[in-house]
A and B are shown apart, each in its own frame.
Chain A
Amino acid sequence: MSVAELLQGKRICVCAGSGGVGKTTTSAAIALGMAAQGHRVAVVTIDPAQRLANALGVEELPNEPHRVEPGRLAAAGLEVEGELWAMMLDPKRTFDELIDRIAPDPERAAEIKANRVYRELSSAVSGSQEFTAVAKLYDLDQAHEFDLLVLDTPPSRNALDFLEAPQRLSSFLEGSALRALVRPAGRGIRVLGRSATPLLAAMRRVTGVDLLTDLATFFGLLGDMTKDFNLRAQQVEDLLRADTTAFVLVTSAEREPIEEAIWLHRTLEQGGLPFAGVIVNRVHHDLLAGSEAEDVRPALRRLLGSDLAARVAENFRDYHVLARRDDVNVSRLAAALGDEPLLVVPQLDEDVHDLEGLLRMRRYLFASASERRRLIADLVA
């Protein structure tokens, strides 16, 4: 199974997984590989490493897709039949643009953007990255300019935040909870006073009246716009559930990311979201083929002398501790996945931070089963 097969007929690929497992580079390598096959692809990244951002040229035009020069790709040794586009998400800006678009007039938009609750809401915390990432994804999808959109998900506390945070945020914006407690008074909203329920009285005692007032003002400003948020949240959810969307889980072979991937797979399946497969990065393959790491010493001693040979053997032993660890973890993942696709990328000699690195990664991601076996065999040869 290759990534090309996983993404057959898909218009959106969401790369999810825990932090530090290579999601950004994997997303970029997927986009690159699909572009090489003739598709018009855009990769939406959140916070790429400097050198990768440079390689993709995403900093020149923030928050809008930007075409990666075919010449740049050709120089790295790849003739791309399609087009590779990349963009770096700016959550605050995406949020502001959304307000500009749905506000009835510019004055209202400005008032909202100046509101303290809004400013807090659109800051980096509280799921706004997640919310704006899917909002942007939706806009790009609606524009129908690309065959495939690849989304690199934000570095959440846990990978599910990416799914929950937008819902949390939109349900807050929709304000149904608070709407029950406040009622319109002219253009603003007045917090129910004397006629308040004991519940509201309790709430005021806990939160203080100012916070409630601020929230009420904020919702007053939003007014009918909350309907748009609600509609949009529904559309985004439909988009994420569509059978033209593919969730690809990315993990490393270490224990915790693997556990997270297993759990996330289960969660996606239970939630009815279109799971496509798992990519395991940085796997240490067994290079011993039944021998012991120590067996290498006598032969190396002749070439290197005993001290250096001992250190090479020690390094080889340590490498295989990791190979055994990875084997245990990947096997556990495979068992949990059953027949679902599982793609393994070996620990590459260097970290991936440039186009050459993405190309190396792409070879593994886009190889057919037989090519993959050959590539892995090459590691041992």
Chain B
Amino acid sequence: MARLLDKRLIFVTGKGGVGKSTVAAALGALAARHGLRTMVAELSSQQRVQGVFDRYGEQFEEVQLAPRLFTISIDPEHAMDEYLRVKVGALGHALASSRLFQAFAMATPGMRELLSIGKVWELAQLHRRTRGASPYDLVIVDAPATGHGLGLLRTPRTFADIARVGPIAHQGRTISDTLADREFTGVVAVATAEEMPVNETLSLIEAVERDELALDLVVLNGLYPMRFNSGEVGQLLEALERSRSQLSRSALRAALAEHARAANQREQQARLDAGVNGRLVELPYVFSEHLGPRQVEDLADALELALRKRR
């Protein structure tokens, strides 16, 4: 665990709907607990982490959620504006207010991704470019879904290659070196124990290794408990045969359905486990009407326990 939290920048990715934001928030809560000034950065402009903590700020504002825990929602438009004004100076101001340039930059393939990841990089610097901004010990990125997420990590290198020389090439190279530095940057993949998320995670692992990035951890999120053994399942089936009460029958069927789901999940879990070389930790399904700070703290507990056990 120490090794994961020793990094400065962690990308949390996975298929849509597997709980990336929740895992990013739980990881953030865990890091904050360990005394790290932690930023959970969202790139989807959906402000989900803010939603979990029910504390809303402006777009692009660094919002404090709890002691040492912060969040920001990054969008490419704000990122470009900041980049131009801070980095380029007077000329940048001219560009930032040019609609023509805005249109050009936003339409250039990969530019939105480059600008977003540029801001992430800036957040992870000990000497922040943003005037008056304090540094973070750890930046956790709630990255886009798998395909887009990996594309995002490749963008700086692609730009460096395309632009070859000049400020964009230089910036792209600096960022891409940072991402390739395994001491500095890590990747956490999130999956649920279903076929597609497991498939995507397995191909993500290949792709991450091909790109020579460090995949530190795979989090299997939303694992149902195995409440019944196979002998007990027989008893449940038998009871379903005999019972005439509607309520009992509903409860028995719910138990059998959940058991089937949990058993399927174990198959997928085994498939994932076989492909990730001991980097797997599990988080339980949260049976809760809301997902708020308390549930995130519970998940941080579970994460801490799982990471300790793993070592």
Report A's interface with B, CB cutoff 8 A: 18-21, 49-51, 116-117, 120-121, 123-127, 155-158, 168-169, 171-172, 177-178, 180-181, 198-199, 201-211, 214-215, 252, 255-257, 260, 287-289, 291, 293, 295-296, 299-300, 303-304, 308, 311-316, 318-319, 321-322, 324-325, 328, 347, 349-351, 353, 380-381
Q: Which of B179-238 contact A (CB under 8 A)?
A: 192, 194-197, 199, 227-228, 232, 235-236
Q: How many angstroms from the CA of A276 to the CA of B154 in the assembled complex?
A: 38
Q: How many angstroms from the CA of A293 to the CA of B252 in the assembled complex?
A: 12
Partner of A20, one of B16, B228, B247: B16
- The answer to whether B289 touches A126, judged by C-beta atoms less than 8 angstroms apart, is no
Q: Is B46 an interface residue (CB 8 A)?
A: yes
Contact with A along B18-32 (1 / 0, CB 8 A): 100100000000000
Q: How many angstroms from the CA of A315 to the CA of B262 in the assembled complex?
A: 12
CB distance from A62 to the nearest CB of B (A): 17
Q: Which residues of A contact B151 (CB under 8 A)?
A: 123-126
Partner of A257, one of B17, B245, B251: B17
Q: Which residues of A contact B192 (CB under 8 A)?
A: 20
Interface pairs (6), CB distance under 8 Å = A157-B44, A181-B100, A209-B166, A214-B162, A308-B236, A380-B246
- The answer to whether A172 touches B17, judged by C-beta atoms less than 8 angstroms apart, is no
Q: How many angstroms from the CA of A351 to the CA of B281 in the assembled complex?
A: 23
- The answer to whether A157 touches B144, judged by C-beta atoms less than 8 angstroms apart, is yes
- The answer to whether B158 touches A120, judged by C-beta atoms less than 8 angstroms apart, is yes
> Nearest 6 CB-CB pairs, A to B?
A19-B16, A208-B166, A20-B17, A125-B151, A172-B107, A287-B250
Q: Is B108 an interface residue (CB 8 A)?
A: yes
Q: Which residues of B contact A295 (CB under 8 A)?
A: 247
Q: Which residues of B contact A172 (CB under 8 A)?
A: 107-109
- The answer to whether A299 touches B17, judged by C-beta atoms less than 8 angstroms apart, is no
CB-nearest residue of chain B to A286: B250
Q: With A158-B44, A313-B251 as given contacts, are A126 and B236 in contact (CB-CB < 8 Å)?
A: no
CB distance from B235 to the nearest CB of A (A): 6
Q: Which residues of B contact A198 (CB under 8 A)?
A: 94
- The answer to whether B289 touches A207, judged by C-beta atoms less than 8 angstroms apart, is no
Q: With A125-B113, A303-B242 as given contacts, are A291 and B168 in contact (CB-CB < 8 Å)?
A: no
CB-nearest residue of chain B to A322: B287
- Mostly, the B contact residues are helix
Partner of A168, one of B18, B107, B194, B249: B107
Q: Is B165 an interface residue (CB 8 A)?
A: yes
Q: With A50-B199, A124-B147, A312-B251 as given contacts, are A303 and B239 in contact (CB-CB < 8 Å)?
A: yes
CB-nearest residue of chain A to B148: A157
CB distance from A4 to the nearest CB of B (A): 28
Report B's interface with A, CB cutoff 8 A: 15-18, 21, 43-46, 48, 51, 84, 88, 91-92, 94-95, 98, 100-101, 103-104, 106-110, 112-113, 144-145, 147-148, 151-152, 154-155, 158-159, 161-169, 192, 194-197, 199, 227-228, 232, 235-236, 239, 242-243, 245-252, 254-258, 260-261, 264, 287-291
Q: Which residues of A contact B51 (CB under 8 A)?
A: 256
Q: Which residues of A contact B94 (CB under 8 A)?
A: 198-199, 202
Q: Which residues of B contact A155 (CB under 8 A)?
A: 15-16, 145, 147
Partner of B165, one of A117, A177, A203, A208: A208
Q: Which of A51, A211, A252 neighbours the largest number of chain B CB atoms within 10 Å of its CB?
A: A211
Q: With A199-B95, A203-B101, A349-B257 as given contacts, are A299 and B162 in contact (CB-CB < 8 Å)?
A: no
Q: How many angstroms from the CA of A350 to the CA of B21 in the assembled complex?
A: 26
Partner of B232, one of A123, A203, A308, A380: A308
- The answer to whether A205 touches B167, judged by C-beta atoms less than 8 angstroms apart, is yes
CB-nearest residue of chain B to A178: B104
Q: How many angstroms from the CA of A158 to the CA of B75 in the assembled complex?
A: 13
Q: How many angstroms from the CA of A289 to the CA of B248 in the assembled complex?
A: 12
Q: Which residues of A contact B255 (CB under 8 A)?
A: 311-312, 315-316
Apart from A18-B17, A19-B16, list 9 A-B contacts with CB within 8 A: A20-B15, A116-B162, A201-B91, A205-B167, A210-B163, A287-B247, A300-B248, A303-B243, A319-B254
Q: Which residues of A contact B98 (CB under 8 A)?
A: 199
Q: How many angstroms from the CA of A311 to the CA of B168 in the assembled complex?
A: 60
- The answer to whether B228 touches A311, judged by C-beta atoms less than 8 angstroms apart, is yes
Q: Which of A19, A125, A210, A325 neighbours the largest number of chain B CB atoms within 10 Å of its CB?
A: A125
Q: How many angstroms from the CA of A127 to the CA of B290 in the assembled complex?
A: 33
Q: How many angstroms from the CA of A79 to the CA of B154 in the assembled complex?
A: 48
Q: With A125-B113, A177-B103 as given contacts, are A252 and B17 in contact (CB-CB < 8 Å)?
A: yes
Q: Which residues of A contact B107 (CB under 8 A)?
A: 168-169, 171-172, 177
CB-nearest residue of chain A to B147: A124
Q: Which residues of A contact B257 (CB under 8 A)?
A: 347, 349
Q: With A206-B167, A207-B167, A257-B17 as given contacts, are A49 and B84 in contact (CB-CB < 8 Å)?
A: no
CB distance from A76 to the nearest CB of B (A): 19
Q: Which residues of A contact B164 (CB under 8 A)?
A: 208, 210
Q: Which residues of B contact A177 (CB under 8 A)?
A: 100, 103-104, 107
- The answer to whether A316 touches B264, judged by C-beta atoms less than 8 angstroms apart, is no
CB distance from B140 to the nearest CB of A (A): 17
CB distance from A328 to the nearest CB of B (A): 7
- The answer to whether B249 touches A381, judged by C-beta atoms less than 8 angstroms apart, is yes
CB distance from B191 to the nearest CB of A (A): 11
Q: How many angstroms from the CA of A325 to the CA of B112 in the assembled complex?
A: 36
CB distance from A119 to the nearest CB of B (A): 10
